Structure 1
């Protein structure tokens, strides 16, 4: 195809995408967004914000929101009222604790928490994939958070299609064939694989990566989000449920020394493409990733950290350090979910290692902290239960706020603020950060 035809097609698609925010969708809008021109990321000196004090708010399996019981309410108006009240109550509490940014999971799997032209509605809202809840949760979240002076980053799980492979789940997805849009599970069955006992997209298929990019582009084009974040689920496997991408590797892997190198290249391609697309569509929207805390262990690589934990480079096939070095990210938020005393992956060792990685770059560093472990007894990590976990949490936040090149803290995750074992820590956070 001549280059000018491709370029014209790309421009037509972007125009359709922007117009689709307020108009009836065409019959199908799963056309992938093509790669676009790279724009420079904003320099650190342009910051107009204090330290990040963030929290993740998960919607997958209704972990944090919406309330599990709300989907059983038969009256849509009542159900929506309950869900919206639950969300504003959470935002009020977060505001009182001094949280300034919410990482809101808008794509928990192959479904959406906004009226997408590409993905069907999430079943987390109504109990049924593709059922319109009668309101726009992403817009509601943005309006309410911004009203309270808080920022919202749209959190996407890029490749997960479902959280299980049960026959009932398959039947639910198959029923979407009559919907517009239908599930990717039925529209592009050839992109679907199983891994970790769930359905996922095969990251080695270029069209699948383009499709993910088009979903992010839809949100960035249509909503005043402050940022976009991908979590750590790139290649996800378990020993008993590996991703069978042998045929994909055979088709696309020529020239790579190993399947592992090819997989890392695929993840790199997605990150680069999404980064460029966001910067073209809305340069002020930040793009970040929240990977596993360990890039590589020093035992495998002299540039790695003095740790012995599961490494993103080797296990998720995500070269997270390289993305920082190449300027593809506005921020990185590694999940450093261990205490100072955990020898395999010491909190201070990893946080300082990451600070050195971002030091010569324009990428901001936020450290993900394990609120979910606070107050929970653990044989390997007893520090979380000493005085309600407050001394450990204090040490971690102290480090984050004192080490140069660490720009803030993000807590995982919101519902743990409501758990009995975490209440001493919650009181401490309010005293430290709250108004």
Structure 2
């Protein structure tokens, strides 16, 4: 029996092959057509007649837990007293939320699945070693529940940020040994439960995105979070297919097993990512329609040189590098919001901030997907030969220019800063003072 998504894919693939043949037979002077993501003829859902809280401008920040980048404090993990560790971790989070509230931040994108572990009490994933230093060790409290309680008390929203496929950030023997030790735990790591799903890519352990059961597993994790916690949203970051030239993902066998009928492995990979986004979107809407689903992809969908619908840029493209057809997800209404990472200044010719911000605004314009722009707080005040604007007057003029454009451009409904701990760094303090004046309470 052929389901609707299969029929859609087959029809789309046939249109692609026909269009490609016509293009090859046509005049060479004609511009290339966007062959893969034709705008679907769909009836948009009715818009609410009164403004909702979700339509207010988002002033957000990403709070990363992978490698304890933003939280929890590194020194908390080494405390011999569990009570002291819990107290220190909770107080650090309270202090951060208090500061964010003073700055006018109204949404926190909290990384609850940094790898193959969880920062909530899960029946699917073991506890994160970011909390205690040991995978699977009960931290004595529920960080996601605590974050939600504290943020909601302050009138701030929380989106559960998940990295869908990463299992571990390195492949060192100590890491593999720690994962193997979870075999007796309930739940154990996916590394020991489904070794046939595990691959190495970008010098990291990942779950192979081409395996249907693995995508179902990720969807079940999202369902668990949405069902058990009053999260305001769920967000995937840009790590779908994440590989490097030195450490590619070896999914040749997976392609032989599941890739029949695809013209290329690249098309098949994009289909796999599409399948994940479709089923996660559908699952969230079935469980809790009010929970927003979003993705924070790389800032460039495709370059104009590769696709007439692409942006006038020369950057690494999500479509071609991560096999994520992010524009299509917006067009099909699969996302409540998209938050592209536009981590460049106005003067970066290969990927100008204003060019990309306006391109994305045009993409979302005929849809009901909200657009929030990810801004590179981590670059503010940092010397750069290729992007010197970040240090001119401590980066404040560049930051101001980007925020001004976001607020003045129809279709852009918010800004998200990457990432929280850079609000506490010496090189960003003039910019933080500016944010306080602009956004602060």
TM-score, normalized by the shorter chain, greater than 0.5: yes
> For 1:355, what is the secondary structure of its paired residue?
helix
Equivalent positions of 1:354-393 (< 5 A) are: 354-393=360-399
Classify 1:126/1:268 alpha carbon distance in 2 versus 1 (closer, same or farther; 3 Å).
Answer: same
Q: Would you say 1:132 and 2:131 are equivalent positions?
A: no
- Hey, what's the Cα distance between the residues in 1 that align with 2:298 and 2:265? 21
How far off its partner does 1:48 sit?
1.4
2:287 alignment counterpart: 281
Q: Give the C-alpha shift of residue 45 in structure 1.
A: 5.5
**Superposed displacement of residue 74, structure 1:** 1.0
Q: For residue 48 of structure 1, what is the aligned residue in structure 2? A: 52
Deviations 1:334-357 (CA, angstroms, capped at 9, x unpaired): 000000000000000000000000
Q: Does 1:232 align with 2:238?
A: yes
Q: Does 1:328 align with 2:323?
A: no
- 2:261 corresponds to 1:255: yes
In structure 2, relative to structure 1, the CA distance for the partners of 1:132 and 1:47 (3 Å cut) is farther
Q: Distance in 1 between matches of 2:104 and 2:52?
A: 17
Give a deviation string over 1:198-251, Cα, whole Å, max 9, x none. Answer: 100000000000000000000000000000000000000010000000000000
What stretches of structure 1 move > 2 A for 4+ residues in a row? 40-47
8 Å CA contact 1:113–1:122 kept in 2: the answer is: yes
Equivalent residue number for residue 110 of structure 1: 116
Identify the residue that residue 40 of structure 2 maps to in structure 1: none
Structural mapping, 1:142-291, within 5 Å: 142-291=148-297
Whether the aligned pair in 2 keeps the contact of 1:339 and 1:347 (CA below 8 Å) is: yes
Task: State the TM-score, normalizing by the size of structure 2.
Answer: 0.89
The SS at the match of 2:412 is coil
| Per-residue Cα deviation, 1:264-319 (whole angstroms, up to 9, x for no partner) | 00000000000000000000000000000000000000000000000000000000
In structure 1, distance between residues paired with 2:239 and 2:325: 13
Compute the displacement of 1:370 (Å): 0.1
2-structure distance, mates of 1:401, 1:44: 22
Q: d(CA) in 1 for partners of 2:104 and 2:135?
A: 35
Q: State the distance in 2 between where 1:46 and 1:357 align.
A: 24
Q: Is the CA contact (8 Å cut-off) linking 1:41 and 1:330 kept in structure 2? A: no
For structure 1, which runs of at least 5 residues remain unmatched after alignment?
A: 4-39
Matches of 1:360 and 1:249, distance apart in 2 = 35
Unmatched segments (≥5 aa) in structure 2: 4-43
Match of 1:76 in 2: 82
Aligned to 1:7: none
Residue 339 in 1 paired to residue 345 in 2? yes
1:58 aligns with 2:58: no
Match of 1:97 among 91, 96, 103: 103
Q: What is the CA-CA distance between 1:43 and the residue it aligns to?
A: 3.7
Residue 196 of structure 1 contacts residue 241 of structure 1 at CA under 8 Å; is this kept in 2? yes
Query: 1:293 touches 1:336 (CA, 8 Å); kept in 2?
Result: yes
Cα pair distance change 1:434/1:287, threshold 3 Å: same
Give 3-state SS (helix, strand or coil) of 1:366's partner: strand
TM score, norm. by length of structure 1: 0.90
Query: What SS is found at the alignment partner of 2:72?
Result: coil
RMSD: 1.4
Which of 408, 431, 435 is the equivalent residue of 2:437?
431
| Change in 2 beyond 3 A, CA 1:361/1:45 | farther
- Provide the C-alpha distance between the structure 1 equivalents of 2:377 and 2:150, rounded to a whole number of angstroms: 24
Alpha-carbon distance between aligned partners in 1 of 2:359 and 2:201, rounded to the nearest angstrom = 31
Q: Show the counterpart of 1:87.
A: 93
